Chains A and B, each alone.
Chain A
Amino acid sequence: MTRQSRLWFFLAAATVVAVLLVAAFLALPHFGGGFHPYGDRSVRAALAHRTANAVAAVNFDQRALDTLGEETILFAAVLGAVVLLRQIPGERQEAPRPAQVPAAVRRLGVLLLPVALLVGMYVVAHGQVTPGGGFQGGIVVATALHLLYVAVDYRALERIRPLALYEVGDVAGEAAYIVTGIAAMLAGSAFLANVLPWGTLGTLTSGGTVVVLNAAVGMEVACGVVVLLAMFLDQAVRIEESPGNSAATQGRTGK
């Protein structure tokens, strides 16, 4: 296909998409209006199960099966990265060298690390009460740990990051979600149904299974993102091509 015909093909397709989008947008309820059929129903359902954060109620109660799918997508992506970015024949590990970091950056990092970790855990723990939850808080926890890489060096990060433990945590979070779903079936209800006591609205223990599923996702996301970034960091810092062996890179990039 020549450059010009490709451009025309794109313009034709873009016109069709634009017309469809505009037509769809014109039929939408007006922006900022008071008509929210889905919102009203989901907020009512969230309050019926004593979950103050309606979004958490949608994610972990009304649409808990969808969240299992999303969690599994992340799980599969991390697994794929672990397989693709492993050390292959023709590559060797190099010990990461200590890095020179300005004292101000180092001090700021050491100061921010506990604060960021605490914020992340707060966001996970309060998922059923305030905005946030396992996914958001999990990523904050995972990125907070990497402040050590920025403020000190890779060796410091590796010392507090026993990768095998985080891999186990990743699997445990994924498994806990499914086990909670099956437990609801054993209790005589449907898969992932909210069978636990709902508690008092606005407290940490409110929401029934929302609390459990939220914690499972928090664990899975925090450990999964740590493992994912560890794979990328190992490739960037540790894993080197053996001298005189270009087959390794060629094998990986498929050239």
Chain B
Amino acid sequence: MTDVLIAVALFLVAATATAAVLNREPLRQALVLSFLGLALTLLFTFVQAPDVALSQLAVGSAVTPLMIVLTVGKVRRGSTSREHSIDDDDDDGGEGDVGDAGDAGEEAR
């Protein structure tokens, strides 16, 4: 029974980690990363390492994705105000900014 659970968790980790690498959109990547954190938490729980599972849950599925989301928001806001040389008044970074994702990715490379 435990072996099945470990196998399922391992598969989930491999799937979410691959998805995080293949995803090129930073915001979506942050979301996938938090799912990877959750899958790793399950894996650590099943191999009886609750201490590590707790840290993984807090850091991997909450703090790291939050820091990525905040950074992406800031970078996009900075790049739009520089390109259009206007002081943008909307900072909620909604759907309208998705088109800039590729640009931000290009700049980072």
Contact B74 A236 (CB under 8 A): yes
Size of the chain B interface, CB-CB below 8 angstroms: 22
Least Cβ distance of A34 to chain B in Å? Answer: 14
Cross-chain contact of B58 among A32, A143, A246, A249 (Cβ < 8 A): A143
Contact B62 A143 (CB under 8 A): yes
A249 CA to B87 CA, complexed, in Å: 13
Q: Does A225 lie at the interface of the complex (its beta carbon under 8 Å from any beta carbon of B)?
A: yes
Size of the chain A interface, CB-CB below 8 angstroms: 30
Q: Does A93 lie at the interface of the complex (its beta carbon under 8 Å from any beta carbon of B)?
A: no
Contact B58 A232 (CB under 8 A): no
- Of B16-24, B28-36, B65-73, the one with at least 4 CB within 8 A of chain A: B65-73
8 Å CB contacts to B: which residues of A205-255? Answer: 225, 228-229, 232-233, 235-237, 240-241, 243-244, 246, 249, 253
Q: Which residues of A have CB within 8 Å of B59? A: 139
A139 CA to B67 CA, complexed, in Å: 14
Q: Does B50 lie at the interface of the complex (its beta carbon under 8 Å from any beta carbon of A)?
A: yes
Chain B residues at the A interface, C-beta cutoff of 8 Å: 3, 50-51, 53-55, 58-59, 62-63, 66-67, 70-71, 73-74, 78, 81-82, 85, 87, 91
Given A132-B50, A229-B63, A246-B81, 17 additional A-B pairs, CB 8 A: A53-B51, A131-B50, A131-B51, A132-B54, A136-B58, A139-B55, A139-B59, A139-B62, A140-B58, A232-B70, A232-B71, A235-B70, A235-B71, A235-B74, A236-B73, A236-B74, A249-B78
Chain A residues at the B interface, C-beta cutoff of 8 Å: 32, 53, 55-56, 123, 131-133, 135-136, 139-140, 142-143, 146, 225, 228-229, 232-233, 235-237, 240-241, 243-244, 246, 249, 253
- 24 A-B pairs within 8 Å (CB atoms) are namely A53-B51, A123-B54, A131-B51, A132-B50, A132-B51, A132-B54, A133-B51, A135-B55, A136-B51, A136-B58, A139-B59, A139-B63, A142-B63, A143-B58, A143-B63, A146-B66, A232-B67, A232-B71, A233-B70, A235-B71, A236-B71, A236-B73, A236-B74, A249-B78
